[in-house]
Homo-oligomer: A and B are copies of this chain.
Amino acid sequence: MSLIKSIVISGATHGNEKTGVELVRKWQSYPEIFEKVCPSANVQLVLANPLAMRLNRRYVDQDLNRSFSENSLSIQGGSLCYEINRAKELNEMFGKKGECTKTDLLIDVHNTTSNMGACLILSEKNPFTTMASAEIVKEFPETRIYFQPEERLASPYFGTIAKADICLEVGPQAHGTLLASLFELTEKIVLRYLELVEDYNKGLFEKREAKLVEVFTQWKDLDYPRDASGNICAMIHPDRQGADFKELKEGDKIFKTFDGQDILYHGETVFPVFVNEAAYYEKKIAMSLTKRTMENW
A: residues with CB less than 8 A from B are 22, 25-26, 56-57, 113, 172, 174-181, 183-184, 231-232, 235-238, 241, 256, 258-260, 276-279, 281-282
A108 CB to closest chain B CB, in angstroms? 20
Measured between beta carbons, the chain B residues less than 8 angstroms from A238 are 179-181
User: Does B174 contact A175, Cβ atoms closer than 8 Å?
Assistant: yes
User: Does B113 contact A180, Cβ atoms closer than 8 Å?
Assistant: no
Of B178, B183, B278, the residue contacting A176 (CB under 8 A) is B278
A89 CB to closest chain B CB, in angstroms? 24
Q: Which residue of B lies closest to A276 (CB)?
A: B177
- Name 19 extra pairs, CB < 8 A, besides A25-B258, A175-B278, A183-B258: A22-B258, A26-B259, A56-B282, A57-B57, A113-B177, A172-B174, A174-B174, A174-B278, A175-B176, A176-B281, A177-B276, A177-B278, A178-B236, A178-B276, A179-B236, A179-B241, A180-B241, A180-B256, A181-B241
User: Does A235 contact B179, Cβ atoms closer than 8 Å?
Assistant: yes
Measured between beta carbons, the chain B residues less than 8 angstroms from A259 are 26
A220 CB to closest chain B CB, in angstroms? 21
User: Does A176 contact B279, Cβ atoms closer than 8 Å?
Assistant: yes
User: Does A183 contact B26, Cβ atoms closer than 8 Å?
Assistant: no
User: Does B177 contact A26, Cβ atoms closer than 8 Å?
Assistant: no
Complex Cα–Cα for A112 and B181 (A): 20
A224 CB to closest chain B CB, in angstroms? 9
Of B175, B232, B277, B282, the residue contacting A175 (CB under 8 A) is B175
Q: Which residue of B lies closest to A181 (CB)?
A: B238
A51 CB to closest chain B CB, in angstroms? 15
User: Does B57 contact A260, Cβ atoms closer than 8 Å?
Assistant: no
A254 CB to closest chain B CB, in angstroms? 11
A139 CB to closest chain B CB, in angstroms? 19
Measured between beta carbons, the chain B residues less than 8 angstroms from A241 are 179-181
Measured between beta carbons, the chain B residues less than 8 angstroms from A279 are 176
User: Does B22 contact A177, Cβ atoms closer than 8 Å?
Assistant: no
Measured between beta carbons, the chain B residues less than 8 angstroms from A236 are 178-180
User: Does A183 contact B235, Cβ atoms closer than 8 Å?
Assistant: yes
User: Does B281 contact A56, Cβ atoms closer than 8 Å?
Assistant: yes
> 26 interchain pairs (CB within 8 A)?
A22-B258, A25-B231, A25-B258, A56-B281, A57-B57, A113-B176, A172-B174, A176-B278, A176-B279, A176-B281, A177-B276, A177-B281, A178-B235, A178-B236, A178-B276, A179-B236, A179-B238, A179-B276, A180-B237, A180-B238, A180-B256, A181-B238, A181-B241, A183-B235, A183-B258, A184-B260
